[in-house]
Chain A
Amino acid sequence: MGDLFSYSLSDFVVYSAPTLFAMTEDMNRALYPLLILLAVLFAVMAWLGWRKSRHFIPVALFGHALMCCLVAWLYFGDYYASLDWAAVYYSRLFYALTVLLAISALWQWRSRSGLSDFRPSLLLGVVYALTALFILPILGWYDGRSLTETALPGLTPHAIMLSLTGVLLLSDNYLLKMLLLGPLIWGGVTLISSWPLGLLQGQVVLPLVILAIITTIVSRIAYKSHRALRIYRPR
């Protein structure tokens, strides 16, 4: 135990922000053809969501499983691993999410559950997806990233965790929402390094996931009381 207390949080930040940005630039340069695949994936998810298709949730879950796998394998398993010994643990978290999301996708495909009918959840879900795609890169620019150093949605962890949070908010299945634990863990972990480095991009994940969890709890309470009212309302 004494060993543990001999560290402070800042001890675990072993690189500087410019080094992280340069690493992202290297990764973007090597992996940019993957962007075409990811753009198609995002377009399919957006189209199914727009049409309120019953396939939206399972396809979105499967898409996120795929992206989590890419992040675990390429981002944490290769590029980020050259900077931080903790990458191996993050990689495990993303592999675990890959498996859970893939199983959930199959389950949702069969159970055919649909979109939430709690309006705030729906609204927030869409906002989170848009934030992941458009606002996060802008925050990165505010943090000091150049265009070539942009943390690309689909290949970097923060955006995936936010868009996954959005998808889980959109779903009407409460058991599925347990998966919010993944983004919650990542939000906490990434705050440890983003805070001392002063990187806003990483600092917004945790508060946004917590807001999503609160919204989910509120929607559950609203749903239950609505049902209770229906059941016990005198005829």
Chain B
Amino acid sequence: MGPLNRRAFLQLSSSVLVSGAVNAAIPAVSPLQKAIPSSGELIPVIGMGSWITFNVGNSVTQRKARSQVLDEFFNAGGRVIDSSPMYGSAEDVLGYCLHELDRQQDAFATTKVWTSSTQQGRVQFEDSKRLWQLPRFSVYLVHNLNNWRGHLPYLQELKQSGQIKYLGLSTSHGRRHSDVEDILNTQLIDFVQLTYNAADREVEQRLLPLAQEKGVAVMVNRPFQTGRLINRVKRELFPEWGAAMGCDNWPELLLKFVISHPAVNCAIPATSQVEHMRENMGANYGRLLADYERKRIADAIRDL
């Protein structure tokens, strides 16, 4: 290793700050980060979801395997973790893994309220804290807009009392977009979670520009179309033009497409495998893509 110059030292120390630990896996450069409009706080562009992948029940073997996935995530500079009471044991498993790895401090924990009863929503928040083994959440969302009118006042209360940092709502699969638009226009929220990927681009029309205009951070779910997109592209040879964009594989390229949209703050791909996590976290580094590069990816997907 050559002598450490000032720039290399700064890059290394910032990556140490993000990953929160000094070990051999620390990448030599810092992760790409984007600022949350309502606060200016920086978060890494690649987070992780937990739907299906972290719902492994009480199986100790599977829980330990997920701890390794999470370890890989943190070591690659990841922080944003998304879950919901709808995902079976996922919150409980995440709590277990975070505790096992002693990484509670590093998580930018995001969960949701998922019930049509306003009263039950309060109980659910306490349950989520217990399951994650965390005193507070970074982001708390209304899952699939379920009873959002009933839940939002409580979320505001939670934010004021410091039990959550940011509030918002989630939708997926392009559902109820007109409702999301109304909410963005009329309510004060920090985050919106929605589906966006190189094949599902409807949100580019109205929701992404509107979120940007209103200063609402965007967290993208289903960046791989629940895995379908990956299954389609992985049959194809990785193109040279993809490498020219600084990517090593298809998952990285697909994630770069998502996070390079100016309105998007982070994507939350889900995986149950360390190797896949490694591939996905590649998109946490390098550079963001220009519009013409994003268009090239979308065209390639369309022509598959």
A interface residues with partner B (beta carbon < 8 Å): 2-3, 5-8, 10-11, 13-16, 19, 22-23, 26, 79, 82-85
Instruction: Point out the residues of chain B lying under 8 angstroms from A22, CB to CB.
Output: 56-57, 59, 61-62
Using C-beta atoms within 8 Å of the partner chain, give the interface range for chain B: 20 to 34
Whether B88 lies near A23 (C-beta < 8 A) is no
Say yes or no: A82-B88 contact (C-beta < 8 A), given A6-B175, A22-B62. yes
Say yes or no: A16-B62 contact (C-beta < 8 A), given A3-B144, A6-B145, A6-B176. no
Whether B57 lies near A85 (C-beta < 8 A) is no
CB distance from B141 to the nearest CB of A (A): 14
Say yes or no: A14-B86 contact (C-beta < 8 A), given A3-B146, A6-B176. yes
CB distance from B294 to the nearest CB of A (A): 27
Instruction: Point out the residues of chain B lying under 8 angstroms from A82, CB to CB.
Output: 57-58, 88-89
Asked if B226 is an interface residue, CB under 8 A from chain A, the answer is: yes
A15 to B57 Cα, complex, angstroms: 9
Q: Nearest A residue to B90 by beta-carbon distance?
A: A14
Asked if B132 is an interface residue, CB under 8 A from chain A, the answer is: no
Query: Given A2-B145, A16-B272, A83-B57, list of 4 further CB < 8 A pairs?
Result: A6-B175, A8-B173, A11-B86, A79-B57
Task: Give per-residue flags for B132-148: 1 if the beta carbon is below 8 A from chain A beta carbons, else 0.
Answer: 00000000000011110
Query: Which of A6, A8, A13, A85 interacts with B171 by CB under 8 Å?
Result: A6
Sampled A-B contacts (16; CB under 8 Å)? A2-B176, A3-B144, A3-B146, A3-B147, A6-B146, A14-B52, A14-B86, A15-B56, A15-B57, A22-B56, A23-B57, A23-B58, A23-B59, A83-B55, A83-B56, A84-B88
Whether A19 lies near B145 (C-beta < 8 A) is no
A5 to B172 Cα, complex, angstroms: 12
Task: Give per-residue flags for B51-70: 1 if the beta carbon is below 8 A from chain A beta carbons, else 0.
Answer: 11101111101100000000
Asked if B87 is an interface residue, CB under 8 A from chain A, the answer is: yes
Whether B226 lies near A10 (C-beta < 8 A) is yes
Asked if B202 is an interface residue, CB under 8 A from chain A, the answer is: no
Instruction: Point out the residues of chain A lying under 8 angstroms from B59, CB to CB.
Output: 19, 22-23, 26
A8 to B175 Cα, complex, angstroms: 10
Asked if B223 is an interface residue, CB under 8 A from chain A, the answer is: no
Instruction: Point out the residues of chain A lying under 8 angstroms from B56, CB to CB.
Output: 15, 19, 22, 83
Asked if B85 is an interface residue, CB under 8 A from chain A, the answer is: yes
Q: How would you classify the secondary structure of chain B's contact residues: helix, strand, loop or mixed?
A: loop
CB distance from B267 to the nearest CB of A (A): 19
Instruction: Point out the residues of chain B lying under 8 angstroms from A85, CB to CB.
Output: 85-86, 88
Interface residues of B in 36-86 (CB under 8 A from A): 51-53, 55-59, 61-62, 85-86
CB distance from A49 to the nearest CB of B (A): 37
Instruction: Point out the residues of chain A lying under 8 angstroms from B144, CB to CB.
Output: 3, 6-7
Q: Nearest B residue to A12 by beta-carbon distance?
A: B86
A22 to B59 Cα, complex, angstroms: 7
Instruction: Point out the residues of chain A lying under 8 angstroms from B146, CB to CB.
Output: 3, 6
Instruction: Point out the residues of chain B lying under 8 angstroms from A84, CB to CB.
Output: 88
Asked if B179 is an interface residue, CB under 8 A from chain A, the answer is: yes
Instruction: Point out the residues of chain B lying under 8 angstroms from A15, CB to CB.
Output: 52, 55-57, 88
Query: Which of A3, A5, A10, A14 interacts with B88 by CB under 8 Å?
Result: A14
Q: Nearest B residue to A84 by beta-carbon distance?
A: B88
Say yes or no: A19-B171 contact (C-beta < 8 A), given A2-B179, A3-B147, A82-B88. no
A2, A15, A26, A79, most chain B CB atoms within 10 A:
A15
Whether B52 lies near A13 (C-beta < 8 A) is yes
Say yes or no: A19-B147 contact (C-beta < 8 A), given A2-B176, A2-B179, A14-B88. no
Task: Give per-residue flags for B243-280: 1 if the beta carbon is below 8 A from chain A beta carbons, else 0.
Answer: 00000000000000000000000000000100000000
Q: Nearest B residue to A14 by beta-carbon distance?
A: B88
Q: Nearest A residue to B114 by beta-carbon distance?
A: A85
Instruction: Point out the residues of chain B lying under 8 angstroms from A6, CB to CB.
Output: 144-146, 171, 175-176
Whether B55 lies near A14 (C-beta < 8 A) is yes
Asked if B116 is an interface residue, CB under 8 A from chain A, the answer is: yes
Whether A5 lies near B57 (C-beta < 8 A) is no
Instruction: Point out the residues of chain A lying under 8 angstroms from B61, CB to CB.
Output: 22
CB distance from A90 to the nearest CB of B (A): 14
Whether B55 lies near A19 (C-beta < 8 A) is yes
Whether A19 lies near B62 (C-beta < 8 A) is yes
Interface residues of B in 167-215 (CB under 8 A from A): 171, 173, 175-176, 179
Task: Give per-residue flags for B218-241: 1 if the beta carbon is below 8 A from chain A beta carbons, else 0.
Answer: 000000001000000000000000
Whether A14 lies near B85 (C-beta < 8 A) is no
Instruction: Point out the residues of chain B lying under 8 angstroms from A2, CB to CB.
Output: 145, 176, 179
Q: Nearest A residue to B145 by beta-carbon distance?
A: A6
A8 to B272 Cα, complex, angstroms: 23
Instruction: Point out the residues of chain A lying under 8 angstroms from B57, CB to CB.
Output: 15, 19, 22-23, 26, 79, 82-83
Say yes or no: A5-B52 contact (C-beta < 8 A), given A14-B87, A83-B89. no
Q: Nearest B residue to A78 by beta-carbon distance?
A: B58
A12 to B299 Cα, complex, angstroms: 32
